[in-house]
Amino acid sequence: MISFYPGPSRIHDQIPKYVKDAATLGIMSMNHRSDEFIQLSKRTIALLKKRLRVPKKYTVFFTSSATECWEILAQSLITKKSYHIYNGAFGQKWFEYTQHITNSAQSFKFDKEEELDVVDHIYSSNDGVICITQNETSNGTQVSNTILKKLRNQNPNHLIAIDATSSMAGVKLDFKQADVWFASVQKCFGLPAGLAVMVCSPRALEQVKSKGEKKHYNSLLFMTEMMERWQTTYTPNVLGIYLLMRVLQDMKSINSVHKETLERFRQWEVFLRPFESIKMLINNQEVQSLTVLSIEAESKLVTKIKMKAKKQGILLGEGYGELKNNTFRIANFPAIKESEIKQLQKFLQTIE
């Protein structure tokens, strides 16, 4: 089965070999307080920073999922308010999870065809974390680096947190324009689920320190103390970290990866243009995600396409949330092969 699901998604071809290597090398029973683990953790973090161009002063953490990161931030970073600016299901979930914990989250919805207007988001009170879903996986939209930069310039005193789960390692992200970035690895990283990375600026960690929250196993304060020794507060997904290291070793610089993602995206655009019964859900080029394509069609046709594709060994992404019936999604992630894209395109040509 060729998976075009936008998460869990197609894993890199080499993963089975790396799992085998992990077994041979004893990684699967490696002690998480051992020197070997410390070396693995240190090496993985250095590679992540290098490949993705994360500022040197930022700290990288390992967590189990993006969802865990939502909760960590609500518990340990947000002191009073948080401003959740979103246009889709994942942004909304982040808002809701935060609201359950802090009871002071505010939501600001914008239309999926609309470019986020930063003028509407100048916050006067100095306190409050601005939360943005950079790539909204549910509808295939993104917030550009340019907009994030404007948002940062207009709110210099606020911390900004970014969910980049379905874009990190697939497109170039300007890490210095925000204080917290996180992503789970089962999307653009092309790895099996069960691990996420979270990147924090020194300013974010200062706020964590002054908040001093110590009620949870995943209190960011404890995590920071452990990460000073390249460790985690609980036994982490050591195999996942090892696989991440191997994939990062193979990975080209994010600039080349970005170029390839963009080229493939353009190719999809040209391919889809002549179709009458299916079209891109998002019309505004400025907000179209490069890594997740949401395709719109009549609900009967959507069902037929997904079913027929499956029979041919192609797994398409279901529509998400309220878009379930009228859309399907195609991941444009680095692990997907050119030949697989050709195969899907050949199939789509038969449906019209």
Ligand X SMILES: *Cc1c(COP(=O)(O)O)cnc(C)c1O
Contact positions vs ligand X (CB under 6 A):
7, 65-67, 90, 133, 137, 163, 165-166, 184, 196
Q: Which residue has the tokens 């909760």?
A: 71
Nearer to ligand X by Cβ, of 76 and 184: the residue is: 184
- CA distance linking residue 248 with residue 242, whole number of Å: 10
What minimum distance in Å lies between the beta carbon of 125 and ligand X?
27
SS3 state of residue 87: coil
Nearer to ligand X by Cβ, of 8 and 347: the residue is: 8
Pull the structure tokens for residue 98.
């935060």
SS3 state of residue 200: strand
What minimum distance in Å lies between the beta carbon of 180 and ligand X?
13
Nearer to ligand X by Cβ, of 105 and 348: the residue is: 105
Nearer to ligand X by Cβ, of 54 and 162: the residue is: 162
Nearer to ligand X by Cβ, of 12 and 187: the residue is: 187
What minimum distance in Å lies between the beta carbon of 92 and ligand X?
11
Q: Which residue has the tokens 């353009």?
A: 266
CA-to-CA dists, residue 58 to 41, 50, 73, 173, 199, angstroms: 15, 12, 16, 14, 6
Nearer to ligand X by Cβ, of 67 and 102: the residue is: 67
Q: Which residue has the tokens 């196993």?
A: 217
Q: Are the C-beta atoms of residues 325 and 299 closer than 8 Å to each other?
A: yes
Which residues make Cβ contacts (< 8 Å) with residue 307, sequence separation at least 6?
Answer: none
Nearer to ligand X by Cβ, of 137 and 224: the residue is: 137
What minimum distance in Å lies between the beta carbon of 35 and ligand X?
30
Let me know the angle formed at the C-alpha of 46 by 76 and 244, rounded to the nearest 5 degrees: 80
Beta bridge partners of 133: 163
Q: Are the C-beta atoms of residues 7 and 165 closer than 8 Å to each other?
A: yes
What minimum distance in Å lies between the beta carbon of 123 and ligand X?
23
Nearer to ligand X by Cβ, of 83 and 90: the residue is: 90
Q: Pairing between strand 59-63 and 129-133?
A: unpaired
Q: How many CA atoms lie within 13 A of 229 on its CB side?
A: 12
What minimum distance in Å lies between the beta carbon of 53 and ligand X?
21
What minimum distance in Å lies between the beta carbon of 9 and ligand X?
10
Buried b vs exposed e over 93-111: b needs ≥16 C-beta within 10 Å? bbbebbbeebeebebbebe
What minimum distance in Å lies between the beta carbon of 287 and ligand X?
15
What minimum distance in Å lies between the beta carbon of 228 and ligand X?
26
CA-to-CA dists, residue 75 to 41, 63, 71, angstroms: 25, 14, 6
Nearer to ligand X by Cβ, of 145 and 343: the residue is: 145
Pull the structure tokens for residue 137.
């996986």
CA-to-CA dists, residue 351 to 269, 276, 299, 347, angstroms: 17, 11, 14, 7
